[in-house]
Amino acid sequence: MSTAAETLNRFRGSFVALITPFTPEDGGKSVDEAAFKKLVDWQIEQGTHGLVPCGTTGESPTLSHEEHDRLVALCVEAAAGRVPVMAGTGSNSTAEAVRLTEHAAKAGADATLVVTPYYNKPTQAGLYDHFRAVADASDLPLFIYNIPGRSIIDMSVETMARLAEIPNIVGVKDATADLTRASLQRGAIGADFIQLSGEDGTALGFMAHGGHGCISVTANVAPGLSSAFQTACLEGRYGDALSIQDTLMPLHTALFCESSPGPVKYAAELLGLCSAQARLPLTDIAPASKEAVRNALTQSGLL
């Protein structure tokens, strides 16, 4: 088993919350595997430090179990060990999260990202038991995904500290947008607990509070800048990081002008990466949103 230092060194920097390309010809009924593999290669070439398939940005709620399994395996295959793959394996069903995690381990993923169970609204005790059961399903490093805005529940610092005592629960994707959390969790758990921001716009402050990286939506279309930003933060070059933040901020804002991943998939289409096709209940973004995304890409020097 890897040491805490080795794990920390491997899971830091700019991780991309990968979009899932769908084929527009059939209205998004099929995954565009060729486009997905090209995205993985391009991300690695541009300096992205890690890949996160089958998360919310990858439209995991509308993926079939077969598609979910296939995308994780395809990402591992395409990455070919060049960067770590952190597979999204969360669900509001503990049994389903366990199954997805077991598959990710068999497919060769390097870690799993497990979201707090949405809709059910478990108590803190329920959250603890859920994550303990998933962690027991494999030896893979497990990252808690705390995103109250989508799941409606918020894991407390105390519950996270209890879960961090389980050896393979190694970190968190924190999408609370509460910058005090990084310091509070650092104080309760320690500096080796890997804290990854789940909010592009506040990642600079998060890193200054002791964060280790970001699982980024913006990195889908600006991987080079996102990687350079994270590297600058990790090296303590916050002046350089602020300059990159200023460049990327219009994009961070525009990519959430509607429910993600609608705007970022449109941005990817403008850059010729893949189709903007999403799956219902997500639809084509509005004309005003398209203009905002196009303008942000231009302001950031990407278009």
Cα dihedral 94/100/106/109 (nearest 10): -110
Percent of the chain surpassing pLDDT 90: 97
Contact 88, 57 (CB under 8 A): no
pLDDT at residue 254, rounded to an integer? 98
Residue 244 lies in a domain: no
CATH at 68: 3.20.20.70
Q: Model confidence over 92-125: pLDDT tens digits?
A: 999 999 999 999 999 999 999 999 999 999 999 9
Name the pLDDT band for 6 (thresholds 50, 70, 90): confident
* pTM score: 0.96
DSSP run (H or E) holding 281: none
Q: What is the mean pLDDT of the chain?
A: 97
Domain count, the chain: 1
Q: Model confidence over 46-61: pLDDT tens digits?
A: 999 999 999 999 999 9
**Which range of residues forms the domain containing residue 156?**
4-237
For residue 1, is pLDDT > 70? Answer: no
Residue 246 lies in a domain: no
Residue 262 lies in a domain: no
Name the pLDDT band for 5 (thresholds 50, 70, 90): confident
Question: Catalytic annotation on 145?
Answer: yes
Residue 259 lies in a domain: no
Which one is catalytic: 119, 121, 173, 238?
173
Which one is catalytic: 38, 119, 145, 290?
145
Question: Catalytic annotation on 106?
Answer: no
Cα gap 41→43, rounded to integer Å: 5
